[in-house]
Amino acid sequence: MDESFSQQQDTEPKVIAIHEYQNQLKGNVCFDKGDVMILLNDSNPDWWYVRHLKNGEGFVPKNFVSKMESLESEEWYAGEIQRSTAEDLVLAAEMPRGTFLVRKREGGEYALTINDLKYDSLDVKHYKIRPLDNASGFYITTHKVFPTVRDLILYYSKEPGDLCCRLTYPAQIIFE
């Protein structure tokens, strides 16, 4: 790896590709899902200027990348979608019990939607993920508080706690 690139990676803000982008227009950078790039300029509301290790510098569509360590970079985060759409996604064909996603709700809250399939009976559970009043964490039940939504998801992926079941697989989020 180029030494100057790795040094910049430690200090510069980074983005991760959440979708593949293969547009060959001059001035744009092509990338694959999961590629990490250095964010050089995010002042344009639709196009960000980045440095890609293999493909150089250029513009990328903002909605195809996400700043590292943001919820948008998580494969289980669906953004602002309707409750009914969340249900359809976790109940998609062949998805097992525990398939889940997190969606944004009004008022700074999030919702965790889980496929709770039992004995061929389709069932979906929704849990509110609330921020603490002092913005120092998130919770579903007040006796278990987490510093981030990511930490909450990691915990419930290991054990069900007060949920209907353990979180197993992120739902396949489809962006149009």
Domain shared by 103 and 122, yes or no: yes
Which tokens hold the place of 139? 């919770």
pTM given for the model: 0.66
Domain shared by 47 and 116, yes or no: no
Domain shared by 54 and 123, yes or no: no
Residue 84's domain comprises: 74-158
Domain shared by 90 and 58, yes or no: no
The tally of domains found in the chain comes to 2
Q: How far is CA 24 from CA 45, 46, 66, in A?
A: 21, 17, 21
145 contacts 74 by C-beta, under 8 angstroms: no
pLDDT computed for residue 148 by the predictor: 86
Which residues make beta-bridge pairs with 31? Answer: 21
99 contacts 90 by C-beta, under 8 angstroms: yes
DSSP track, 2-36: -HHHHHHHHHS-EEEESS-B----TTB--B-TT-E
**Distance between CA atoms of residues 98 and 73, nearest Å:** 21
Question: 165 in a domain, yes or no?
Answer: no
pLDDT digits (tens, 9 = 90+) for 87-99: 999 999 888 999 9
User: Is pLDDT at 44 greater than 50 in this prediction?
Assistant: yes
Q: Residue 112 is part of a domain; what is its CATH number?
A: 3.30.505.10
